Amino acid sequence: MNITTRLHLLEAIRRAEQAVTARTAADRAYTRATKAAADALTETRRHQQQLADTPDSDHTQHAEALEAAQKTYADCSRRQQTAKAKVRRTVAAARAANRGLAALYTPHARGRATGGQRRHAVAAGLLDELASMPLELIRAADAILVHSSAGKDSLVMLHRLATWAAQAGCKDKIVVVHCDLGDTSEWPGVRQLAERQADRYGLRFIAVDADGGLLGLVEKRGMFPDATRRLCTSTLKRDKANVLLTVIVAALGLDRQALIINCLGIRAAESTARSRKRGLAIDTRTSNGKRLVLTWHPIHALSDTEVWQEIAAEGLEYHPTYDALIPRLSCVFCVLAGFSVLVRAVRLCWALGLPLAERYEELEARIGHRFKEQCSLADVIKEAARIEAEEGPLTWRRGDAIRDQLGDDAVDDYLHRLALAA
Ligand code: SF4
């Protein structure tokens, strides 16, 4: 089966899934409408009975109530008919989508591709095959969006993608997208670094501004996000970057469905939730008739050490924050960071002369909502002050992150490679 057939099959599976989801939603809406109509009919009968049992002098009030109940019943009945028509339409659409999928699948493989579980299994198999052929996937794509935070994982992902794209002769398809959360959220120089990292491979770079950043979002909502309501990522990063999809697809000017690949540097080793993600997946939320969007995690299987080994071996420029042994280049105060990392972030702010810790502490007090359920930023600052009193200010040297991960011997070699690459 060639790559075009695989992609057509994925699109047929996506359409079938979408049609089945629409049918399920229509079924539910019909059930709700039917119940509402039945309740309205019962209410109407009750008022009819009341009116019949009421002396003539009290008729007016009951007549009005009956009229209102009859109107509600009529509305509900109309809604029920509309919902029923929609069920018929969506059933027909789901059958047609499954027939289309079966017709495409049968010439290439044994067994069925339809039915929920079977569809998922076929899609998973196809996606695994595609993920194992990066050059073909890059050649087949119309545009490749590489989401870069400028952090270590983005850096290694970018290096791999740029190398593959150069081998495939497709570097012009890549757009490096960086969501800039601004200097009240991020460490200094992050946006500039993301741009330099893209420049190294001659790739197009677009920075998307997330107005107000994390601080602005918290001011607006009056509360900090948390792991279960991670609005910061969706509002400040994902939704902003998704707007670009429409712009990029329109600029392609294709008269067929575009294949867009969204690349993210997440890794299984980072968390249980991330370990459950697939190397390649259909983005059903942003795909539509005009674009099939695949989400690709090209470094999903790498460990922390492997990431640092690649950075060292290739002389890739990472952000100095890592040298202060802060493990992620996230927001300065990330709501997902552990207590000790936050303490270190406060100390790094003080060492760099950034007034952010005090600003967040003031915000926390003003809105009356703790930075994290387990600890307030005031607690974090208190602990940072205690450590500073014992140990003095935080210090670090360029290459400390490499030293910490790979040992002393790797540092000189890395700094040499970095200088050569500059
Ligand atoms: S880095 Fe942390 S705080 Fe910042 S947007 Fe991401 S999850 Fe939210």
Q: Spell out the per-residue pLDDT of the chain, length 422, in tens.
A: 889 999 999 999 999 999 999 999 999 999 999 999 999 999 999 988 888 888 776 778 888 889 999 999 999 999 999 999 999 999 999 999 999 998 988 887 777 666 777 888 889 999 999 999 999 999 999 999 999 999 999 999 999 999 999 999 999 999 999 998 888 889 999 999 999 999 999 999 999 887 777 888 888 888 888 777 766 777 767 777 788 899 999 999 999 999 999 999 999 999 898 999 999 999 999 999 999 999 999 999 999 999 999 999 999 999 999 999 999 998 899 988 999 999 999 999 999 999 999 999 998 888 888 888 888 899 999 999 999 999 999 999 999 999 999 999 999 999 999 988 87
Helix, strand, or coil here: 223?
Answer: coil
Helices 377-391/356-367 angle, 10° precision: 150
Which residue, of 267, 296, 325, is where some domain finishes?
296
Ligand 1: which residue has its CA nearest to atom 4? Answer: 331
One domain for residues 205 and 237: yes
Contact (CB, 8 A) for 184 and 215? yes
Contact (CB, 8 A) for 181 and 236? yes
Residue 129 inside a domain? The answer is no
Q: Is the distance from the beta carbon of residue 232 to the nearest atom of ligand 1 less than 6 Å?
A: yes
Beta carbons within 8 Å of 22's beta carbon, 6+ residues apart: 90, 93, 94
One domain for residues 176 and 280: yes
Span from the CA of 331 to the centroid of ligand 1 (angstroms): 5
One domain for residues 182 and 273: yes
Ligand 1: which residue has its CA nearest to atom 2? Answer: 334
Span from the CA of 203 to the centroid of ligand 1 (angstroms): 26
Specify the ligand 1 atom closest to the Cα of 328. 1
Span from the CA of 398 to the centroid of ligand 1 (angstroms): 25
φ, ψ dihedrals at 145, nearest 5° = -100, 120
Ligand 1: which residue has its CA nearest to atom 3? Answer: 334
CATH assignment of the domain containing 205: 3.40.50.620
Sheet of strand 143-147: strand arrangement? 204-209, 174-180, 143-147, 258-263, 291-296, 280-282
Beta carbons within 8 Å of 274's beta carbon, 6+ residues apart: 266, 267, 268, 300
* Tokens standing for residue 220: 């607006």
Residue 86 inside a domain? The answer is yes
Helix, strand, or coil here: 193?
Answer: helix
Domain count along the chain: 3
Q: Is the distance from the beta carbon of residue 329 to the nearest atom of ligand 1 less than 6 Å?
A: no
One domain for residues 69 and 177: no
- As a whole number of angstroms, the distance between CA 325 and CA 359 comes to 23
Residue 131 inside a domain? The answer is no
Residue 25 inside a domain? The answer is yes
Q: Is the distance from the beta carbon of residue 341 to the nearest atom of ligand 1 less than 6 Å?
A: no
Contact (CB, 8 A) for 151 and 191? no
One domain for residues 41 and 157: no
One domain for residues 249 and 175: yes
Per the structure, the complete domain to which residue 342 belongs is given by: 311-421
pLDDT at residue 113 in the model: 66
Contact (CB, 8 A) for 103 and 13? no
Q: Is the distance from the beta carbon of residue 266 to the nearest atom of ligand 1 less than 6 Å?
A: no
- As a whole number of angstroms, the distance between CA 115 and CA 151 comes to 41
Q: Is the distance from the beta carbon of residue 337 to the nearest atom of ligand 1 less than 6 Å?
A: no
